Structure 1
Amino acid sequence: MADERTAQCLCGAVRLQISGLSPDIHACHCENCRRHSGALGMTVIVPHDAVIVHGGESVSTYQSSDWAARSFCSRCGSGLWYRFTEPGDQADYFLSAGLLDDLRGLKLTQEIYYDRKPDAWAFAGNTQKLTGAEVEALYAASPKE
């Protein structure tokens, strides 16, 4: 069942109210996520209309690829979210899971770009594991508005 949570960056300049949060955490092993986070991307996916951002003046955004951008707090540097760049700013938020004030009840359910995972780590438990080619095929098949 979806629920409501709050989140914030390290310094508290950016605060978020999130509704309809799914209990699923996703891990991404791609090079961009590793470089952005220093390890891997751990995100929760939140619909664009389910996030209220307070302190938006402290949000900076970097176009990290031809099709996506990453936002961070310009004061403390905390990674905030990743979003596909779509016309009309309707993209979901791939919100950094570590920003959440309460992580109870969340579970790692999916690892993507699994074929690029470094040998240095492995997660316990059963997760859906998708290679980079599988992920890219899924997004290519998704209807664009």
Structure 2
Amino acid sequence: MSGRAGGCLCGAVRYRLRAAPEQFGACHCTICQRISGGVNLSFNVAAEDIDVTGLEAVRTYRSSDWAERSFCGTCGANLWYRGLGEGAGYSLGLGTLDDKSGMVLEREICIESKPDTYALAGDHPRLTSGEAFA
């Protein structure tokens, strides 16, 4: 669905998507747990399919040898995760969307790190880290 838009909590950073999937994923890895405070819900967008305004407010942290995570330097809201490779797209936080209607949970990854205290409903693939990154 094209035309989706979103941004951070304070509005300093905004984005508009030219094309966006109607599916999102859930990651239970320990890095995502620490960044999000729990399960990380996100969807992927190609770099050429997003226009971002307010880049001066974006702060970026290199969270591993292969990726970086960005957040709003004003309100602290998590924005996206990006691989460091050429042409890497964005993995945007589901909660940053203005309108999440129609979005469907596609899969969960890193389920071996998921706390036992919750389970996401639905019939979708649940992959270990090994399976997801093979």
Whether TM-score is above 0.5 comes out as yes
Partner residue, 2:80:
81
Partner residue, 1:28:
27
Deviation at 1:129, TM superposition (A): 1.1
Partner Cα distance (1:29, 1:122) in 2? 11
TM-score, structure 2 as length reference: 0.97
Identity of aligned residues (%): 44
Partner residue, 1:121:
118
Deviation at 1:3, TM superposition (A): 2.4
TM-score, structure 1 as length reference: 0.90
Please tell me whether residue 17 in structure 1 is matched to residue 16 in structure 2.
Answer: yes
Partner Cα distance (1:101, 1:109) in 2? 20
Please tell me whether residue 69 in structure 1 is matched to residue 68 in structure 2.
Answer: yes
Could you tell me which runs of 5 or more consecutive residues in structure 1 were left unpaired when the two chains were aligned: 138-145
| AA of the residue aligned to 1:43 | S
Moved over 2 A (4+): none
Partner residue, 1:92:
89
Please tell me whether residue 110 in structure 1 is matched to residue 107 in structure 2.
Answer: yes
Partner Cα distance (2:81, 2:12) in 1? 18
Partner Cα distance (1:26, 1:84) in 2? 16
Q: How many residues align?
A: 134
